[in-house]
Amino acid sequence: MSVVASTPSLPTAGSIEPVRRMLAAVRRRARLWIWVESLAWLALVTAAAFWLTLLFDWWVEPPVAVRLTAIALTAGAIAWIVALKLVTRLRAPLSDASLALVVERHDARFGDSISTAISLADHPPDADDARTACDPELAARTTAAAAALAGSVRLGGLFRGRRLAALAMAAIASLATIGVLAATRGDVAGLWLRRMTRLSDEPWPRRVRLAIEGFEDGRRLVARGSDVEIVVRARADGPLPDLVELRTRGPDGWQSRRMGTLGGVGPDGQTFVHTLTGVGGDVEFEVRGGDGRLTGLRLVVAEAPALAGLTIEHEPPAYLGTGLRPTAASRVVRVPRGSRVRITCTSTKPLAEAVLTARDAAVAGTSGAAVAAPEAFSGDAAPESSAPSRVLASLAAAETASHGGDGDRLTLEGEIQALDGDVAVALDLRDTDGLSNRQPIQFLIIPVPDEPPQVAMTPRGMPAAITGAGRLLLVGTIGDDHALAEAAVQLRRETAKGTDGIGSDGPPGDGDRSDDDTVRLPIPGVREGALVAEFTADSPHEVVLAPLALTPGERLACTVTARDRCTLDGAAQEGRGETWSLEVVTPEALRALLEAREILLRRRFESAIDDLSQARERLASPAPATPDDDAFIVDPVVACAETASRTAGEAADVAEAFRTIHLELATNDLLTPEVEERLIRQIAAPLTAVASRDLPDLERACRDATPAAVVQRADATLERLRAILARMIELESYNQLVERLRDVIRLQEQIRAETLEEQKRRGRALLQRP
């Protein structure tokens, strides 16, 4: 009997099918888990991005660029989740072998049966290959065991369901918050949507509302270097904020400054101000107060219009000539009074508006004071004044269309007609950017008055008395700041008791005696149009008094007057010199006065000679003088030098005095050749020679020569001085003799008068007898 052994077969498709169904269920559950987890993360990230951007946008209100960055970051996070959490994991192959290992690790009952069954089913062993050969019975039992347990696998135990559930709940809750916000505050959600998706700049509604003045689209153009005042008005649905901050962005980051309040709380809220000083470049800043925000603000710096050139021309009054004349531009401009002034201003930038105004500086309180100007003219603002301003020239914005180009908008020209008082001129500029000149452009125009002529004329010799037939010799200068018209000598005769000697102010006729005894004699030496007329001792102006028929006992007042060509006040201006009062005397009385003056001069000269003689004696004395305890010891040589110098001055003065006597005698026709010989050749000329030569030589000898030589030179000088003194004494003796003769003549005249009076008395007595 033969026995046939049955060989167990390897696992078949039918026997492994329960295992594959179980692994397919695990695969589906894994992919579902990936979807749920990825979507949950997407929901969380989306919700987080929504709330973060909402809060950040509400708190900061960032510009579009920042919002675009936030959107890009959110999109990047979502793309990262989709790519790594969803797509990459879904694309990963979940083979039965991999899933079998997961199930075996989770359920120890399987051991290695699932992975062994899947391996044998996918890769059957080759009976001829010893390396892959296996026991068929053992393989069948392993497969059967895995299939038997496949139906009892709990898929929920293979995954972390609680974690996934929590994540899903969190995602649903986060999305629910967005839904609640959209349902309850749709305006907030809609505004977020517009700002984040449409990039709208619509601001968030806030309890505190801030408004800034002077900004357009968050920008304000300011002048470089100017002080910019930031004005913010705050309103609130409730209490106003106590603090408003101005935050500026600089190289070191953001800096906060507290804004100050301006005034109290009004119906329009509270005003806050802050001044940014010396703004030299663009400034980014924002304003915060309470929950109110003003962001994206910017100060844009540009050059302000300034004065590029100033041309001032003036046309003087007609009597000074015609035609425009240039005037140096400065802070204070001086032009002749009555001039027409033309002012031409040139700006550094094209102008939209410009005004050139003028006002009376005397009323404004700035007369004679310098005012500010640009570089050359810029300075502090002029003081406020109620003085009315008049517009010299203007350039209005409406005129822009009539100008062909910017070059026509750079110049402004105005005129002042007939300048009569101090005028403060101000220039205000506004360029096409809306900027005004940062500092006031002002200058002062001062009219220089035409001064009356200046008269500095004096009678030569300054006589105190004169005869009726005498002459006045006037020396000095007559001048005017522009031009002389005429000059004259005004003579007024007065009685002896009208003594003040002040000339009349009345208008006398030329060469005719007026009712007030005033005569006006023209001076031919003054040419019309001349600036200065000079009369020297060699060419004086001579006034002959004989035509006036003056009588002794009267006084003559003499005044030199001059007129210019200025007629701004209706009549020419007149300048008057000093008035001199002269006594009219007889020739004899004048001689007596001059002789008395000669005696005084002789005594003065004698005193000078005595001083020099004493100095010579002290120098020649062999024994030095013993001084008192309180006296100083003086070197005799030094004392002699000082005395010589002093005597030289005295001699020169005496010589000039004798020449004056000679001049008075000559101008009164009382000079004889003999008198001229004595006064000039015998006294004045020798005195001048000694004063200019001998005495200075003696002074130099005191410094250089020996005492003996000095004594010898002093003796020679004293001899010359004493010789001149002798001539004076002879003249005095002659004068004394003349005076005695005059006394005899006066006595004879007196006797004759008394005799006549006695004869008359006796005649009347005889006629009265019965």
Where in the chain are the domains? 13-181, 208-302, 314-427+435-448, 454-585, 590-751
pLDDT of residue 560: 94
| Residue 372 DSSP one-character state | -
Its pTM stands at 0.58
Closest among 448, 445, 428 to 437, alpha carbons compared = 428
Examine domains 208-302 and 314-427+435-448 and report if their fold is the same.
yes
Task: Please report the pLDDT score of residue 517 as a whole number.
Answer: 76
Q: Which residue has the tokens 């001062």?
A: 446
Q: For residues 370 and 207, give the distance between their C-alpha atoms in angstroms, rounded to a whole number.
A: 54
pLDDT score of 104 = 64
The SS3 assignment for 217 reads: coil
- How far apart CA 343 and CA 423 sit, in angstroms, is 13
Which parts of 61-130 fold into alpha helices (H)?
Answer: 64-80, 88-91, 96-106, 113-122
Query: Which regions of the chain are under pLDDT 70?
Result: 1-15, 19, 95-161, 362-387, 397-408, 496-516, 622-634, 731-748, 750-751, 762, 766-770
Residues forming beta bridges with residue 442, ordered by sequence position: 426
**Neighbouring C-alpha atoms within 13 Å toward the C-beta of 411:** 8
From residue 138, alpha-carbon distances to 56, 103, 290 in Å are: 68, 21, 82
Exposure string for 103-135, b = 16+ CB within 10 A, e = fewer:
bbeebeebeebbbbbbbbbeeebeeeeeeeeee
Residues 434-471 as b or e (16 or more Cβ within 10 Å = b): ebbbbbbbbbbbbbeebebbebebbbbbebebbbbebb
Residue 426 DSSP symbol = E
Determine the pLDDT at residue 1: 35
> Which CATH code fits 454-585?
2.60.40
Q: Are strands 423-431 and 471-479 parallel, antiparallel or unpaired?
A: unpaired
Burial of 521 (0-12, 13-18, 19+ CB in 10 A): middle
Report CA 194 to chain centroid distance, whole Å. Answer: 53
Rounded to 10 degrees, what is the CA torsion of 504, 506, 507, 511?
-40
Q: 539 CB contacts (<8 Å, ≥6 apart)?
A: 525
Task: Please state the CATH superfamily assignment of the domain spanning residues 208-302 in this structure.
Answer: Immunoglobulins (2.60.40.10)
Q: What is the predicted pLDDT for the residue at 3?
A: 37
Pick the CATH number of 314-427+435-448 from 3.40.50, 2.60.40, 3.30.43, 2.60.120: 2.60.40
Q: Quote the pLDDT of residue 146.
A: 63
